[in-house]
């Protein structure tokens, strides 16, 4: 079972929910941090990393001996990542989406697959909990291929919890697609509500069942609750604002370590998710 | 960019540190300027600025590949070539998986794949009580957010030039990926709004490195500073060591949420709070550094 934790707005508590849910469940659980632009879960999990892999995208490398400057590669490329200018062919690897079109179209077989480093994946564990994340190379623009690599580390059995990036565009889609459930985390403020609506839109496009966690549930106003009721979005957990929680978070401490009574609540959260997933299958 | 015209981009790395609330507060302090919301993925600045939209434009970027079933002979070449596994067994294309690379369009022996330009969002020219604003809405689950960021920044620049306004205040996106890269190029300076948490610190280091990479001068301020005074001091030391201008701290204050609920900047909501004073002081430091 794959549960993705997402939110339109950043800083609403995705990582808090993902890490505490994963640690509460413990054995047989895998936590994948797919916020590869700004991965944070490891700061709370403190895993021992056992395996690091450099992840690269395939980009064109031109053999100028073979190239006849016919220009077909530039013609097929939708991303302006390879062009023929005068008597030279210029690849722009940072613009390349790795579609392989230029290699397939080249009549001289003059283009081979080179590499552009996207970042790394690191995998390890904390006790029984398996952990992996990706770190996008600073300066690299494209995160979805690295996110897909992190997701490819998912075990087919057991529970996989995914910490998704904020927003609603391609990196989020890459992090929630084909999940069994999306748990949305928001705060009851106008920004939280506005971005929640976008996130619900994205999840509904993909047809994945979803539920809501309201963090800092006693600040702001009641419009998030009203909206959730209107669109039939079940509220599965509420976490009130508590300065102790904020301070513990600032230090990289887990909520369930500082306030152990929360473990039971995260286990209940999982039971509620399980019920919703199973009722959807019937 | 015009010698006199400056663009300040406010970013954070980590989401939820208070970027947008701070941009809104700055909007009420700055004189003549254009406001620009470059967080097109989850744009929120309009919730405080309450803009009156004057112009609405489609944002078109990229293409959707669509197989024409009448022409398709199901030869399977497209499925073989597609690196996104976007072509289903029944020879329809999953628009979510399709990258718009056009390889199937090019190679289809029957010419059966249509390739219309996609409309993936809208951008707007608006008026607000604090001056003109350029903002956008990216369609849900759409790509090309970086290109839309580039577009709104270009429109903001055009507007500032046309009206002779000396400043563009840009609310940037979280992260370090494509939309952030698109919001940094050519900026006069960035202000990183961080928070004194392990995550805030980790993320500001990465986004500062990105700004260094683009040679954009970095300024730093810490929001919710009193939640962890030690971490705040660490961030200040780190900034000084790296040669970033440390502009100050803002205390944790529920006024941010209250003002947001009221659709106001924190300075409109209550001019006398400690947070309001801190924001004014940061703004003064910032204008001095940017020689505005």
What is the least distance, in Å, from the CA of A181 to any CA of chain B? 17
DSSP-derived letter for residue B87 is: B
A24-83 pLDDT tens trace: 998 999 999 999 999 999 999 999 999 999 999 999 999 999 999 999 999 999 999 999
Give the domain CATH number at A93: 3.30.70.20
Q: What pLDDT, on the 0 to 100 scale, is given for residue A281?
A: 73
Q: What pLDDT, on the 0 to 100 scale, is given for residue A198?
A: 96
Give the domain CATH number at A250: 3.40.50.300
Do residues A104 and A48 share a domain? no
Q: Residue A9: closest CA among chain B residues belongs to which residue?
A: B42
Distance, in Å, from the CA atom of A64 to the CA atom of A133, rounded to the nearest integer, reads: 38
Size of interface A-B (CB pairs under 8 A): 186
What is the least distance, in Å, from the CA of A263 to any CA of chain B? 22
Domain B6-60+121-289 belongs to what architecture?
A: 3-Layer(aba) Sandwich (3.40)
Q: Which fold has domain B65-115?
A: Alpha-Beta Plaits (3.30.70)
A70-109 pLDDT tens trace: 999 999 999 999 999 999 999 999 999 999 999 999 999 9
- Chain B touched by A219 (CB under 8 Å): yes
> What residues of chain B score a pLDDT lower than 70?
1-3
Do residues A147 and A267 share a domain? yes
Write the CB contacts of B197 (distance below 8 Å, at least 6 apart in sequence): A249, A250, A251, A252, B227, B228, B231
Do residues A40 and A20 share a domain? yes
Distance, in Å, from the CA atom of B40 to the CA atom of B59, rounded to the nearest integer, reads: 12
A218-277 pLDDT tens trace: 999 999 999 999 999 999 999 999 999 999 999 999 999 999 999 999 999 999 999 999
pTM, entire model: 0.96
B90 C-beta neighbours (distance < 10 Å), count: 8
Do residues A44 and A79 share a domain? no
How many domains does chain A divide into?
A: 2
Do residues A126 and A102 share a domain? no
ipTM of this predicted complex?
0.95
Q: What pLDDT, on the 0 to 100 scale, is given for residue A282?
A: 64
Confirm whether A114 is domain-assigned: no
Instruction: For residue B83, list chain A residues with Cβ-Cβ distance below 8 A.
Output: 98-100
Q: Residue B232: closest CA among chain A residues belongs to which residue?
A: A250
- Chain A touched by B17 (CB under 8 Å): yes
What is the least distance, in Å, from the CA of B175 to any CA of chain A? 5
User: Alpha helix locations (H) across chain B?
Assistant: 19-29, 46-49, 77-81, 103-107, 145-163, 178-184, 198-213, 229-242, 255-261, 266-269, 274-289
Q: What pLDDT, on the 0 to 100 scale, is given for residue B1?
A: 47
Do residues A89 and A220 share a domain? no
Q: What pLDDT, on the 0 to 100 scale, is given for residue B140?
A: 86
Do residues A177 and A71 share a domain? no
Do residues A236 and A187 share a domain? yes
Instruction: For residue A171, list chain B residues with Cβ-Cβ distance below 8 A.
Output: 175, 177
- Say yes or no to pLDDT of A156 above 50: yes
Q: What pLDDT, on the 0 to 100 scale, is given for residue B143?
A: 79
Q: Which domain holds residue A139?
A: 2-55+119-281
Do residues A101 and A180 share a domain? no
Confirm whether A31 is domain-assigned: yes
Domain ranges of chain B: 6-60+121-289, 65-115
Do residues A43 and A180 share a domain? yes
Q: What pLDDT, on the 0 to 100 scale, is given for residue B198?
A: 98
Hunting for tokens 């219309």 — which residue is that?
B116
Q: Residue B104: closest CA among chain A residues belongs to which residue?
A: A101
Q: What pLDDT, on the 0 to 100 scale, is given for residue B3?
A: 63
Do residues A136 and A71 share a domain? no
Residue to substitute from B15, B63, B64, interface A, most A β-carbons within 10 A: B15
Do residues A130 and A224 share a domain? yes
What is the least distance, in Å, from the CA of A272 to any CA of chain B? 27
């Amino acid at each position: 079972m794959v549960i993705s934790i997402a939110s339109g707005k950043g800083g609403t508590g995705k990582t808090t929910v993902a890490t505490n849910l994963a640690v509460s469940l413990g054995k047989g659980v895998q936590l994948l941090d797919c916020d590869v632009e700004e991965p944070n879960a490891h700061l709370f999990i403190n895993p021992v990393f056992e395996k690091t892999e450099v992840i690269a995208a395939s980009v064109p490398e031109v053999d100028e001996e073979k190239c006849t400057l016919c220009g077909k590669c530039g013609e097929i490329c939708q991303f302006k990542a390879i062009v023929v200018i005068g008597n030279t062919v210029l690849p722009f690897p940072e613009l390349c989406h790795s579609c392989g079109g230029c290699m397939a179209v080249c009549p001289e077989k003059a283009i081979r697959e080179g590499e552009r480093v996207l970042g790394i994946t690191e995998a390890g564990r904390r006790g029984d909990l398996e952990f992996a994340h990706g770190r996008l190379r600073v300066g690299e623009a494209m995160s979805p291929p690295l996110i897909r690599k992190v997701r490819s580390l998912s075990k087919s059995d057991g529970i996989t919890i995914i910490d998704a990036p904020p927003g609603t565009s391609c990196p989020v889609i890459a992090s929630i697609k084909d999940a069994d459930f999306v748990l949305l985390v928001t705060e009851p403020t106008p920004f939280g509500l506005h971005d929640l609506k976008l996130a619900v839109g994205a999840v509904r496009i993909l047809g994945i069942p979803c539920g809501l966690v309201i963090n800092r549930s006693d600040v702001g106003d009641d419009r998030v609750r009203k909206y959730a009721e209107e669109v039939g979005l079940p509220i599965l957990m509420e976490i009130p604002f508590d300065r102790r929680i904020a301070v513990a978070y600032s230090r990289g401490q887990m909520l369930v370590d500082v306030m152990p009574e929360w473990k039971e609540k995260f286990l209940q959260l999982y039971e509620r998710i399980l019920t919703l997933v199973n009722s959807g299958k019937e | 960019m015009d010698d006199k015209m400056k663009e300040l981009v406010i970013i954070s790395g980590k989401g939820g540190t208070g970027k947008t609330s701070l941009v809104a507060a700055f909007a009420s302090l700055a004189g003549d300027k254009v406001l620009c919301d470059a967080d097109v993925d989850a744009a929120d600045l309009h919730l405080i600025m309450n803009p009156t939209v004057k112009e609405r434009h489609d944002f078109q970027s990229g293409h959707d590949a669509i197989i024409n079933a009448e022409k398709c002979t199901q030869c399977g070449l497209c499925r073989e070539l597609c690196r996104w596994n976007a072509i289903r067994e029944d020879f329809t294309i999953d628009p979510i998986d399709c990258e718009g690379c056009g390889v199937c369009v090019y190679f289809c022996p029957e010419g059966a794949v249509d390739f219309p330009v996609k409309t993936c969002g809208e951008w707007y020219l608006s008026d607000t009580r604090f001056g003109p604003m350029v903002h956008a809405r990216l369609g849900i689950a759409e790509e090309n957010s970086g290109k839309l960021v580039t577009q709104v920044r270009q429109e903001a620049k055009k507007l500032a030039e046309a009206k002779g306004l000396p400043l563009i205040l840009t609310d940037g996106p979280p992260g370090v990926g494509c939309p952030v890269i698109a919001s940094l190029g050519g900026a006069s300076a960035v202000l990183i709004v961080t928070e004194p948490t392990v995550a805030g610190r980790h993320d500001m280091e990465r986004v500062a490195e990105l700004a260094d990479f683009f040679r954009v001068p970095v300024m730093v301020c810490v929001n919710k500073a009193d939640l962890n005074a030690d971490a705040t001091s660490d961030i200040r030391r780190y900034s000084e060591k790296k040669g970033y201008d440390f502009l100050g701290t803002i205390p944790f204050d529920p006024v941010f949420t209250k003002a947001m609920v009221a659709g106001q900047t924190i300075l409109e909501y209550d001019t006398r709070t400690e947070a309001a004073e801190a924001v004014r002081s940061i703004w003064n430091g910032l204008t001095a550094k940017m020689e505005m």
